[in-house]
């Protein structure tokens, strides 16, 4: 959204889903980025989602609102603010769903830096870490079903084939998992609460392990729990990119939102104990990271 130029410092309001370490990490990175702007630094205010009110004076004067996390995006969307909104630390599926539910949040007034990774990066991890495995199984639930086309395109680009099973309810999960494991040699797990939650996470890992299918996941914590590998962005990495994007936004005259985008900074994590248990020789994390970057980044 284009805004009229303002001779005064811009006003930016950050809204946190909760007051925990990941959200504070993002906030501190943004704060540090603004500090580097000197006299051009915006006026920054940080609020908690649970205490928001539409009539808060911070929103009246805000040039830009930055919700951090899904709860914050949902809360801000309901307030129907006039200021543009730039979402941070929420996955694409959640951002897209919120945008559908609130049509006023169009591309002129709403954009995002997603939490999750692009499909090609996930497929590149599989190709680089597991070069002998070409058949990738994926379970798609309500939150991840829209990712199918991107997954298919990324698999083709990386020379992999996909085996897809859809899961509409908790009762369907285990039968669908067994079917997809029978047809694949690697399981790619996506962030979807219908698929992976506190009741199913260990069952997915154990069932896949018995089938000798390594699990490629989306978070370091899932790798620690028993997945073989993951590509992900830390809150610090998301915060760093958010700081860079926001600094450019507030310096622009007039302020303009960038297009929605995936993280450019990311990490790779490998569970080498699981690799040994499966008889797999996996490259060093730093080597895999550089190979994924080289194979997926475009000029």
3-state secondary structure 235-291: HHHHHHHHHHHHHHHHHCCCCCCCCCECCCCCEEEECHHHHHHCCCCCCCHHHHHHH
CATH number of domain containing 187: 3.40.50.2300
Segment among 82-86, 101-105, 130-134, 278-282 with least mean pLDDT: 101-105
- pLDDT confidence of residue 298: 59
- Same structural domain, 18 and 160: no
Q: Is 56 left (phi over 0), alpha (psi -120 to 50) or beta?
A: beta
- Same structural domain, 290 and 203: yes
258-294: pLDDT as tens digits: 999 999 999 999 999 999 999 999 999 999 999 999 9
9-57: pLDDT as tens digits: 899 999 999 999 999 999 999 999 999 999 889 999 999 998 876 566 7
- Same structural domain, 164 and 271: yes
Q: Looking at the domain assignment, is residue 258 inside a domain?
A: no
- Same structural domain, 147 and 197: yes
Token pair for 71: 């709860």
- Same structural domain, 185 and 90: no
- Same structural domain, 28 and 161: no
Token pair for 39: 């006299």
- Confidence label for 1 from pLDDT (cuts 50, 70 and 90): very low
- Same structural domain, 98 and 26: yes
What are phi and psi for residue 87, nearest 5 degrees? -80, 140
134-143: pLDDT as tens digits: 999 999 999 9
**Whether pTM exceeds 0.85:** yes
Q: Looking at the domain assignment, is residue 5 inside a domain?
A: no
Give residue 106's domain range: 11-115+235-251
- Same structural domain, 25 and 128: no
- Same structural domain, 65 and 141: no
Number of domains in the chain: 2
- Same structural domain, 32 and 59: yes
Q: Looking at the domain assignment, is residue 261 inside a domain?
A: no
3-state DSSP assignment of residue 36: coil
In the sheet with 229-232, reading across from the earlier edge strand, the strands are: 161-166, 135-140, 186-188, 215-217, 229-232, 267-270
Q: Looking at the domain assignment, is residue 103 inside a domain?
A: yes
CATH number of domain containing 38: 3.40.50.360
**Residue labelled with tokens 């500090």:** 35
Token pair for 287: 């080597």
């Amino acid at each position: 959204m284009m805004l009229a130029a303002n001779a005064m410092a811009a006003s930016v309001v950050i809204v946190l889903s909760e007051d925990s370490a990941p959200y504070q990490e993002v906030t501190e990175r943004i704060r540090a980025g603004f500090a580097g702007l000197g006299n051009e630094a915006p006026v920054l205010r940080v609020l908690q989602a649970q205490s928001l009110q539409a009539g808060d004076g911070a929103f009246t004067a805000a040039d830009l609102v930055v919700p951090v996390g899904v709860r914050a995006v949902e809360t801000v969307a309901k307030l129907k603010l006039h200021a543009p909104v730039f979402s941070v630390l929420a996955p694409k599926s959640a951002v897209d769903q919120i945008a559908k539910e609130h049509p006023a949040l169009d591309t002129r007034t709403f954009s995002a830096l997603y939490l999750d990774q692009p499909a090609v990066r996930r497929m590149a991890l599989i190709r680089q870490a597991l070069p002998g495995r070409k058949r990738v199984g994926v379970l798609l639930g309500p939150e991840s079903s829209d990712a199918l086309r991107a997954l298919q395109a990324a698999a083709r680009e990386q020379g992999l084939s996909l085996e897809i099973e859809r899961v509409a309810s908790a009762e369907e999960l285990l039968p669908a998992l067994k079917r997809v494991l029978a047809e694949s040699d690697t399981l790619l797990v996506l962030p979807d609460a219908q698929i992976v939650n506190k009741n199913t996470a260990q069952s997915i890992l154990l069932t896949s392990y018995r089938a000798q299918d390594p699990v490629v996941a989306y978070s370091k914590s899932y790798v620690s729990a028993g997945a073989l590998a993951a590509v992900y962005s830390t809150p610090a990495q998301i915060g760093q990119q958010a700081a860079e994007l926001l600094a450019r936004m507030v310096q622009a005259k007039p302020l303009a939102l960038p297009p929605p985008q995936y993280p450019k900074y990311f990490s790779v994590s490998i569970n080498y104990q699981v690799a040994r248990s499966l008889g797999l020789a996996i490259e060093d994390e730093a080597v895999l990271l550089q190979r994924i970057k080289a194979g997926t980044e475009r000029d």
